[in-house]
């Protein structure tokens, strides 16, 4: 069975496994205060054009999301995101569990706009009952979105402007950041310039586990390690995270591995298009959402694992095919050959 159901179904990039094995007999201080985490942070900062950025390493994406949001917000403040946003639709109320309401907005192909954000901010600004409602203080977006779509650099700049106008933080969930960078016109330096906080995903982009959280807003930096610890996101063997991100960023492996995944996804996308199979969205990244009938699903599911997303109409279903840093050209070619037979 060849897996195209997600981008975290294999252990880690061989370079990481080799580095872990070579370093296995070394000893380090705990909780991320070690030479590997320091080196990894320095390697990441080379791409940020923001030497004062704070870089923290957390064990997973959900922990990074709710820890960052909880640290940024006071008890009466809320987060704003698309109705398909990961913190709303896939994290079992983790943000709400910290005591913060999520305000959802209808998205288009997973994205929200600066105008929508401004409308939320303006509604609160002119409200005569502000003491009775939560204050929208943080905007959450993901890059790429849950549907593999991307915010352009211009869209991010507009969202930044809306957030600044209404005193909101911008937090970007980059669990799949590498795939977004490979497919769009945004760089990590752009992210550091426009977002107050953002994550650089490792779990879905070649690491065994872990996310790097970058904080550029000085107001959010103090005591952040205390929030990490309190929220259960601090790894005692923190050097394992630092080593992985150091390997991924030292020679650009993070970008190369994710770029290959996007290139293979584009080949698969072209194969579906050649057969006249419709797409749910036009995704330029490693996630491709196609609409298949039951006959087509049955023809593929005997050899491939892919993820159902939602029913469409007339018995058809939207399903996701997802490449990853570990997808091989041979696996993609096999799928492309079978798509051609549909």
pLDDT tens column, 266-286: 999 999 999 999 999 999 999
Going by C-alpha positions, the residue among 280, 256, 308, 340 that lies closest to residue 148 is 280
User: Among 81, 236, 238, 242, which residue's Cα sits nearest to residue 146?
Assistant: 81
Mean pLDDT (the chain, rounded): 97
Helix or strand run (H / E) with residue 57? strand 54-58
Type and span of the H or E element at 80: strand 77-82
- Per-residue pLDDT band for 23 (boundaries 50, 70, 90) equals very high
Q: For position 268, what pLDDT does the model report?
A: 98
> Looking at the DSSP assignment, which residues form a beta bridge with residue 319?
290, 308
Residue 314 has pLDDT above 90, yes or no: no
Terminal C-alpha separation, the chain: 18
Helices 294-301, 329-339: crossing angle, 10 deg rounding: 140
Total H helices, total E strands in the chain: 14, 12
Buried b / exposed e across 132-162, counting CB within 10 Å, b at 16+?
eebbbbbbbbbbbbbbbbbbeeebbebbbeb
Instruction: Give residue 36's pLDDT.
Output: 98
> In the chain, which ranges are continuous DSSP H helix?
14-22, 35-45, 61-72, 86-89, 94-97, 114-126, 153-165, 177-183, 188-194, 224-230, 239-250, 253-274, 294-301, 329-339
Token digits for 142? Answer: 């993901």
User: Is it the case that residue 45 has pLDDT exceeding 90?
Assistant: yes
Please tell me whether the overall predicted TM-score, pTM, comes out greater than 0.95 for this model.
yes
Which domains does the chain possess?
2-7+254-339 (3.90.1150.10), 14-251 (3.40.640.10)
Local structure of residue 111 (DSSP, 8 states): B
Cα-based distances in Å from 211 to 31, 104, 202, 207, 341: 15, 25, 5, 9, 40
* pLDDT, average across residues 162-186: 98
- Mapped onto helix, strand or coil, the DSSP state of residue 321 is strand
In angstroms and rounded to an integer, the radius of gyration of the C-alpha atoms of the chain is: 20
CA 47 to the chain's CA centroid: 18
229 φ/ψ sector (left φ>0, alpha ψ -120 to 50, else beta):
alpha
340 in Cβ contact with 277 (< 8 Å): no
* Percent of residues, the chain, with pLDDT higher than 70: 100
Average pLDDT over every residue of 249-271? 98
- Find out whether 101 and 138 touch, Cβ atoms under 8 Å: no
Judged against a pLDDT cut of 90, whether residue 35 lies above it is answered with yes
Residue 313 has pLDDT above 90, yes or no: no
Tens digit of pLDDT for each residue in 194-243?
A: 999 999 999 999 999 999 999 999 999 999 999 999 999 999 999 999 99
Q: What are the pLDDT digits (tens) for 116-158?
A: 999 999 999 999 999 999 999 999 999 999 999 999 999 999 9
pLDDT of the residue at 5: 96
Gap between the Cα atoms of 246 and 251, Å rounded: 9
**Residue 200 in tokens:** 């650089």
pLDDT at res. 110: 96
**Is residue 315's pLDDT more than 90?**
no
Please state, for a pLDDT cut of 90, what percent of the chain lies above it: 98
């Amino acid at each position: 069975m060849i897996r195209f159901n997600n981008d975290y179904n294999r252990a880690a990039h061989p370079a990481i496994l080799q580095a872990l094995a070579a370093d296995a007999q070394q000893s380090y201080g705990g909780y991320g205060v070690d030479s590997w985490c320091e080196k990894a942070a320095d390697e990441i900062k080379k791409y940020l054009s923001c030497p004062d950025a704070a870089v923290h390493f957390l064990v997973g994406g959900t922990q990074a999301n709710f820890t960052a949001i909880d640290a940024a917000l006071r008890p009466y403040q809320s987060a704003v995101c698309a109705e398909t946003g990961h913190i709303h639709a896939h994290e079992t109320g983790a943000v709400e569990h910290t005591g913060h309401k999520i305000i959802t907005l209808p998205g288009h192909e997973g994205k929200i706009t600066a105008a929508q954000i401004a409308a939320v901010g303006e509604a609160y600004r002119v409200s005569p009952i502000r003491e009775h409602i939560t204050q929208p203080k943080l905007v959450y977006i993901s890059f790429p979105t849950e549907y593999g779509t991307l915010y352009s650099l211009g869209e991010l700049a507009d969202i930044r402007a809306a957030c600044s106008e209404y005193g909101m933080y911008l937090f970007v969930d980059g669990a799949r950041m590498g795939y977004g960078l490979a497919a769009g016109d945004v760089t990590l330096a752009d992210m550091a310039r426009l977002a107050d906080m953002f994550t650089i995903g490792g779990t879905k982009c070649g690491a065994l586990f872990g996310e790097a959280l970058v904080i550029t807003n000085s107001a959010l930096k103090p005591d952040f390690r205390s929030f990490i610890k309190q929220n259960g996101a601090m790894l005692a063997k923190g050097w394992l995270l630092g080593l992985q991100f150091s390997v991924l960023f030292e020679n650009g492996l993070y970008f190369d591995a994710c770029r290959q995944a996007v290139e293979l996804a584009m080949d698969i996308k072209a194969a579906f298009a050649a057969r006249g199979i419709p797409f749910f969205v036009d995704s330029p990244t490693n996630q491709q959402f196609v609409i298949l009938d039951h006959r087509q699903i049955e023809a593929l599911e005997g050899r491939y694992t892919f993820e159902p997303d939602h029913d469409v109409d007339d018995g058809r279903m939207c399903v996701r095919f997802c490449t990853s840093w570990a997808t091989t050209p041979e696996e993609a070619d096999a799928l492309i050959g079978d798509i051609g037979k549909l």
